[in-house]
Amino acid sequence: MIQRLTSTLQVKPFDFMRKSDPQQILNFIQNEHPQTIALVLSYLEPDQAGAVLSALPVELQAQVARRIAQMDRTSPETIAQVERILEKKISSSSVTEDYTQTGGITSIVSVLNGVDRTTERNILEKLEQQNPDLAEEIKKRMFVFEDIIILDDRAIQRVIRESENEDLILAMRTASDEVKDLLFKNMSDRMAASFKEELNYMGPVRLHDVEEAQTRIVNTVRKLEDAGELVIARGNGDDVIV
């Protein structure tokens, strides 16, 4: 998570921006170089960063997302220099210590999980054109099998219907009790009893096979979301079904 990226700092970089709303932050940084915007967003809370990223011009969104994902270590001098430029517009801050981890795949995944689906799709499509491998790695980590707990009961029932029983059983092999209970709750009593028996008597299986089954179910979830047949709750609260 982004919160862990700056654990070695006494004062988190761009802390003064964390006190501003996304629109104010956008006004402060939208005309900066994409690398500067990426640096700032990588230090904000995911919901804040997602809101700012969504509000950037479409052609700029993918550039910034790619730079966050590919960011590694940034020197304190560089961070301090960017802060000095931006603090003239807002307030003052300071940064110390050695090089600190900044951005990366985990960071951009957290940010993208906070944006609306249209913005996410646009960014990923642009990234696929610019860097297919990076786009694929980001997509793999955006919605994982355990995230199924954020779906409502109707969505889970639909996913169960669209998935192969063998995949569901394999996927549940390493699932948390919370995920298992949620899936059982959304099956018929007969199906749930059958699955429990299968799991109880299942012999050793390769972790790779379990992960592949989970990936197929995640792909089903995303396919249904793309078709507008289910909604994944996102950080900005826009995806609400009434």
240 lies in a domain?
no
Last residue of a domain, one of 142, 166, 189: 142
Report which DSSP code applies to 31. T
Average pLDDT, the chain: 80
Considering the domain architecture, whether residues 16 and 124 belong to the same structural domain is answered as: yes
Tokens 């957290």 sit at which residue?
A: 110
Considering the domain architecture, whether residues 117 and 47 belong to the same structural domain is answered as: yes
Q: Distance between CA atoms of 231 and 118, rounded to whole angstroms?
A: 12
Last residue of a domain, one of 127, 142, 157: 142
Q: How far is CA 185 from CA 36, 84, 98, 178, 192, in A?
A: 47, 54, 50, 11, 8
Question: Domain range for residue 190?
Answer: 145-226
Considering the domain architecture, whether residues 178 and 111 belong to the same structural domain is answered as: no
231 lies in a domain?
no
0.95 cut: is pTM over it?
A: no
198 lies in a domain?
yes
pLDDT digits (tens, 9 = 90+) for 174-198: 999 999 999 999 999 999 999 999 9
Structure tokens at 216: 């197929």
Cβ-contact 145, 179 below 8 angstroms:
yes
Considering the domain architecture, whether residues 44 and 72 belong to the same structural domain is answered as: yes
Give every residue of the chain whose pLDDT is below 50, as ranges: 1-9, 92-101, 236-242
Q: What's the CATH number where 38 sits? A: 1.10.220.30
> In this predicted structure, what is the pLDDT of residue 7?
44
